Structure 1
C-alpha cells in the first residue's frame, strides 16, 4: 500500500451493491473533512465524539441524494448535549465533491465532558430533512431517540420511517500516522436492503424500543435470509479496517463480501464546506422591524452574527437591515 493510494481514498464515499444478497451500501472514509469540522470549535471530548459519529452518518446517507440537493441530520435532546446538526450538499456537477458541515450546541454546566457521549443527549428525536431546492416542499422524517448510539438512531429511522432495513458499522477517533501529527479519522460501512414496491411488515407495531420497527419486523423469507447473511459478514469487520488507511475500501469489500458478488460504482469525493454569506445573514434578518434590529445592535453601533458551522464573523450597519431598512448595504 503506497501513500498515494491511502490519500486517494481519504474523504470519499464508495457506493456498492451485493448482487447475490440484493443489498446496497456505501463505504466512507473521512480524514480532512472531519478534522476541518472539529477544528472550527473547541468541543469537549464527549461532544467531539457525537459530532464525529453524526458527520460520518451524514456522509454515508447523503451520497444517495441527487445533485444540488441538501440533506440535513439533526438530533435534539433534553440532556446537556442539546443539538447535533449536520448538512450534506450534493455536488453541483458530476465529478465535483459534495460538501459537509456540522456543529453542536451543549450546556457546559451540565455536561460530563469525558463521560459516555450518547446518554447525555437525553430524550428527544432524530430527524432527517431533505431540501430539493426552490419551489419544492422540503421532506422531513422524525423518530424518537432510541438505542445506545446515533448509529442505532439512524437504523431505527430507516426501519420506522422508510421501511428499509439498514445497518451501520462505524469507527472514529484520533489517530497518528508515521511522521504526522495526531488528527481525526473516521470510516464506516452502510448496508441497506434494495427498496421494494410493497415492503412486508409482520403484525402491528414493531419489536424495538417503544414499539419502533426493526429489520426483522419488515423482512421475511429469502429477503430476511439474505439480509442476515450480509450482516453476519459485516460483523467480522475490524475498526482498523473501517478507518484505514492501510486497507482500501475495494479490498475491504472483497474481504467481507466476496461470496455476495460485490459490485462498486464511482466514488464520491467529499470536503468541508459552508454556504454562509453576508447576503444570507441579511436575508435571515429581513423579517425583523427597526425596533427588533435596534435591540440586536451592540454598544458600538453594529449588528454582529457568527456562523455556528464555520465560525465566520459578520458585521452590519443596523440601518441596512430588516424590512424597514433606510440605507442600502
Structure 2
C-alpha cells in the first residue's frame, strides 16, 4: 500500500481500537488501527519487510484481544517455531500499552525470499503459539496453546477461539506501509467479530456425524468451520471475509466508516474508542533486579573489559550500564 497522508488528520484516526456490536446479527467485535506506534516499533529495529509484516500482524491481533480485558493485567502473544522467524513476542498491558519484538535468522530469511516462500505460515513454520492472560498471580494466569503448522496468524487465531473460548470468531489482519512527508511509515490494522447469540441453542454444532447412517446416505454438515449453521453468523462471517487489506490500512478511512460499509444494512453500534500506545516496561530498577537474580559467578562473567555490566532491552533497544559495585551494593542493602 502506497500513498500520502495529511499528518494531524491521520494521527487522530490511528492507534485506537473501536468496539462495536451488530444487534441484528448477534455479533460483537473490535477494529484496530495502528499507526505511529507500530511504525516506531518496526523502524527501531530495522526489520526486513517480511519480518515487519508478520510482527505487525501479531501486534494488531494482540491489541485486538488485549483491549478486551476488563481488569488491570497483561495479555501476551508468543510464538516459538522452526521457521526463519523463530519467535514473536507481543506484550499488552491493560488498558492501553503494548510492545513487540521478533527474532529471525537473516540467512534463512534470504533463502525463503529467493524461493518465494514469504507467507506468514512459511516464515513461522511449525511450532506453537501461546496466548497468556496474567492478572498478576499464578492463580489467575491462563494460557492457551495453538499448534503452528504453517498457517496464517488469522487461522491460528480461529483455532484459538474454537478450542479455548469456543466462540465462533473471525479475524482479519493487514500490514503495509505508506509514503508520507516524513518518509515511509508502517501501518497495521485488524478486525475481530464474534457470534454471541442470546440463546445457547444457536451455538450448538450442526455437523454431528450420524454414525451408523446407511451406506450412500448424504450427510449434511454445517457450512461454517465452527460447526454453526446460523443465518446471522453466516452473514456476519461472509461480510468480514470481504474486507480488503487496503481498507484496514487506509489512513483516511476511519474505523467507524469501515463498519458502516460492512454493516450499514444491519446497523452497527460503536462505543468509545480505546487509545493505545507503544511503551516498554523496562527500567533501570527492573534491570538491576534481574542482574541481582544471577549467581555471583554469572554476574562476574558479564563484566566487560571496561569493568562495567551492560544490558540492552530487546524490546526498545535501550542500553543500561552498571558498575559491579552498583549491583553488589544494592544487594547488600537489601540483605
Same fold? TM cut 0.5: yes
SS in 2 for 1:283: helix
| 1:268–1:301 distance in 2 versus 1, CA, 3 Å | same
Q: Normalising by structure 2, what TM-score?
A: 0.84
Q: Which residue of structure 1 lines up, in the alignment, with residue 107 of structure 2?
A: 109
Distance in 2 (alpha carbons) for counterparts of 1:290 and 1:4: 52
- Higher gyration radius (CA): 2
Specify the SS of the correspondent of 2:91.
strand
The answer to whether 1:216 aligns with 2:224 is yes
Q: Which residue number in structure 1 is paired with residue 30 of structure 2?
A: 26
Q: Secondary structure at the match of 2:106?
A: coil
TM superposition score normalised by structure 1 = 0.85
**Deviation, structure 1 residue 262:** 1.0
Contact 2:34 2:188 in 1 (8 A): yes
Structure-1 separation of matches of 2:7 and 2:46: 30
User: Given the alignment, which residue of 166, 169, 179 partners 1:176?
Assistant: 179
Higher fraction of helix: 2
Please say if residues 12 and 269 of structure 1, whose CA atoms lie closer than 8 Å, have aligned partners that are also in contact.
yes
Q: Which blocks of at least 5 consecutive residues in structure 2 are unaligned?
A: 210-221
1:312 and 2:310 correspond? no
Q: Select between 263-272 and 253-262 the one with higher mean Cα deviation.
A: 253-262
Q: Is the Cα–Cα contact under 8 Å of residues 16 and 276 in structure 2 kept in the other structure?
A: yes
- 1:260 aligns with 266
Deviation of 1:257 after TM superposition, in Å, equals: 0.7
Decide whether aligned partners of structure 1 residues 215 and 80 sit closer, same or farther in structure 2, where only a CA change above 3 A counts. Answer: farther
1:261-276 counterparts in 2 under 5 A? 261-276=267-282
Counterpart-to-counterpart distance in 2, 1:66 and 1:109 = 42
1:95 equivalent in structure 2: none
Are residues 249 and 314 of structure 1, via their aligned partners in 2, closer, same or farther at CA, if it must alter by over 3 Å?
same
Matched-pair contact (CA < 8 Å) for 2:20–2:268? yes
Structure 1: tracts of 5 or more residues without a match: 92-97, 205-213
Contact map agreement 1:33 1:271 (CA 8 A) in 2? yes
Equivalences, count: 311
From 13, 30, 37, give the equivalent of 2:17.
13
After the TM superposition, which residues 1-329 of structure 1 pair with which residues of structure 2 at under 5 Å, given as runs? Answer: 6-91=10-95, 98-112=96-110, 114=113, 115-118=117-120, 119-134=122-137, 136-146=139-149, 148-177=151-180, 179-194=181-196, 200-201=204-205, 203=208, 216=224, 218-221=226-229, 224-321=230-327, 325-326=331-332
